[in-house]
Amino acid sequence: MYGLIGVGIKKLVEIELGSSAWDRISQRADFSERDFIKTDCYDDSMIFKLVHEISNELGVSVADVLIKFGHYWVDFAISEGYGNAYKLGGTSFVDFLKNLNKLHMYVASSFPKLQPPHFQVVNDTGEELDLIYRSARSDLEPMVIGLIEALGIKFNKKISITVLSKDAEKTIFKTIYS
């Protein structure tokens, strides 16, 4: 994954736990550089190792760390100058979900090796919808949950999001919004 993700993870740890915690976590994860270059690619396994060590440091599950990171990511991306990418998303919660692929295509213009997630909205009733998530990676569903909850806050929506089904190819989230 691109270092931009790692910079976000490091910032979140520093905000929540302080910079000495980041030093401990990166040491335990054998991440001797301790800093990411936003436009460099890093092995996903390194990012997962760091997330694992953060969960150990906090005494919470890996899923909880990923949810927290999803919450943080939305504002972090704006603070990193990606506010324009959000403008592509449209002005309503559902439109935004429908435009997530467009958003990542725009991001890919700065990050050519991006392996973005793919999202599809189906069965929208105006109160609930199914969000289909496809990824080259596994086990990032809690990050999606955190991200969608954070988008709900941005669009003044109360969100309930749960995994409806998961197979090798896709995960479907039931998303209730009001």
- The binding site for ligand HEM (CB under 6 A) comprises 1-2, 4-5, 74, 77, 82, 85-86, 100, 103-104, 107, 111, 114-117, 135-137, 140, 143-144, 147-148, 151
Reference 80, options 148, 162, 5, 174; nearest CA is 5
Considering the complex, what minimum distance in angstroms separates the CB of residue 80 from ligand HEM?
7
H or E, element range at 73: helix 62-77
Tokens matching residue 56: 């150990």
Reference 121, options 172, 169, 165; nearest CA is 172
Considering the complex, what minimum distance in angstroms separates the CB of residue 24 from ligand HEM?
25
Query: Which DSSP symbol is given to 168?
Result: S
Q: Which is nearer to ligand HEM, 55 or 135 (CB)?
A: 135
In which residue are the tokens 């935004």 written? 96
Q: Which is nearer to ligand HEM, 67 or 148 (CB)?
A: 148
Burial class of 91 by CB neighbour count within 10 A (0 to 12, 13 to 18, 19+):
exposed
Q: Which is nearer to ligand HEM, 61 or 138 (CB)?
A: 138
Considering the complex, what minimum distance in angstroms separates the CB of residue 16 from ligand HEM?
20
Q: What angle do CA 134, 70, 33 make, to 5 degrees?
A: 100
Considering the complex, what minimum distance in angstroms separates the CB of residue 18 from ligand HEM?
26
Considering the complex, what minimum distance in angstroms separates the CB of residue 86 from ligand HEM?
5
Q: Which is nearer to ligand HEM, 21 or 63 (CB)?
A: 63
3-class DSSP state of 169: coil
Q: Which is nearer to ligand HEM, 21 or 105 (CB)?
A: 105
